[in-house]
Amino acid sequence: MGAQLRVYKRRIRSVTATKKITKAMEMIAASRVVKAQRKVAASTPYATELTRAVTAVGTGSNTKHPLTTQAETVTRSAVLLLTSDRGLAGAFNSNAIKAAEQLTARLESEGKQVDTYIVGRRGVAHYNFRERKIADQWTGFTDEPSYADAKKVAAPLIEAIEKDTADGGVDELHIVYTEFVSMMTQQALDARLLPLSLDEVAQERPKGEILPLYDFEPSAEDVLDALLPRYVESRIYNALLQSAASKHAATRRAMKSATDNAGELINTLSRLANAARQAEITQEISEIVGGSAALADATAGSDK
């Protein structure tokens, strides 16, 4: 019984130490998700208005540009997958990777060749373990991405969209990331960044909105050339911030669940330890009573 009691006490100390760690990680994630949420709210209006500006140029001119014009035959696509550098975030990374794999399978079923670009060590490790080709990868900034990080990610993608497919370029660009809906809800989704679907953007505008007339100087094509990198960078930056906020929220939820489970396990082990201690005390009392009775019987026998 004594050995069993020591085992329970050792496990209680171990689980208590783990509970302190998970509680600290929960508090850190809670503070980070608030900051990330503010950055998302600050970046979204800029990305939205930039998309509206690109739409205005695209609808107000007949210029064929990679930003707004779909290729007649799409043979090659690029998929940008956003994951995190760290784990302990529940199903955050697995959901994003699953969405990317489903998108890749759909594009390949359409006869398109897919180049995969990955942000985050978790996604890179997943593809490397399965020996899948990665066109380019970036790590080390997923918890707190900056606009400079978005520009670094966007540079090879813009270069690929501007190239001909015969020279290794792509006809369209897709992004897979986790959208931050609320502290309790985050959903992995995919979206096509390029070419921009003017019809879809037009449907998002308020009904009855009158668009202004534009004159382009020097030309609509030059304006689109200038807007192309800004558009891609802003959308990627917003997606990075959405993904970071979603990751912190998922970590907070996972660590809270781990802390609650640790508390329940400590209560269970404490009850078992108390039962083992009571059994040990009962056994000791029984041995004392038995020894006393035996000693009394021996004394009575000697008196006779």
Predicted local confidence at residue 264, as pLDDT:
92
Residue 60 per-residue DSSP state: T
pLDDT for 46 equals: 84
Write out the chain's pLDDT in tens, 304 residues: 567 888 888 999 999 999 999 999 989 888 888 888 888 888 888 888 887 777 777 666 666 666 676 777 888 899 999 999 988 888 899 999 999 999 999 999 998 899 999 999 999 999 999 999 999 999 999 989 999 999 999 999 988 888 887 788 888 899 999 998 888 888 999 988 888 765 544 555 555 555 556 666 777 777 777 777 888 899 999 999 999 999 999 999 899 999 999 999 999 988 888 888 887 778 778 777 777 777 776 676 665 5
pLDDT at 198: 57
Decide if 191 contacts 238 (C-beta within 8 A): no
Residue 246 has a pLDDT of 93
Residue 150, sorted as left (phi over 0), alpha (psi -120 to 50) or beta, turns out to be alpha
Task: Locate 8 and state its tokens.
Answer: 């329970």
- Residue 184: DSSP 8-state: S
On whether the CB atoms of residues 166 and 149 are closer than 8 A, the answer is: no
Q: What is the pLDDT of residue 21?
A: 92
Q: Are strands 76-82 and 186-194 parallel, antiparallel or unpaired?
A: unpaired
Residue 38 near residue 282, CB atoms below 8 Å = no
Compute the distance between CA of residue 34 and CA of residue 268 in angstroms, rounded to an integer: 35
Do the beta carbons of residue 91 and residue 254 sit within 8 Å?
Answer: no
How does strand 172-180 pair with strand 186-194?
antiparallel
Q: Which domains does the chain have, with CATH numbers?
A: 23-256 (3.40.1380.10)
Q: How far apart are CA 239 and CA 179, in angstroms?
A: 8
Query: What's the pLDDT score for residue 57?
Result: 72
The residue among 71, 6, 51 whose CA lies nearest residue 272 is: 6
**Measured between alpha carbons, how far apart are the two ends of the chain, in Å?**
39
Q: What is the pLDDT of residue 194?
A: 82
As a whole number of angstroms, the distance between CA 14 and CA 8 comes to 10
What is the rounded distance in angstroms from the CA atom of residue 120 to the CA atom of residue 110?
Answer: 28
* Ordered strands of the 186-194 beta sheet: 136-138, 113-119, 76-82, 172-180, 186-194
Report pLDDT for 199: 52
- 240: its two tokens: 């990075």
Q: What is the pLDDT of residue 59?
A: 66
- DSSP letters for 197-242: -HHHHHHHSPTTPPPPP---SS-HHHHHHHHHHHHHHHHHHHHHHH
Tell me if residue 266 falls in helix, strand or coil. helix
| Residue 214, pLDDT score | 65
The whole-number pLDDT of residue 207 equals 58
In this predicted structure, what is the pLDDT of residue 164?
80
| pLDDT confidence of residue 290 | 75
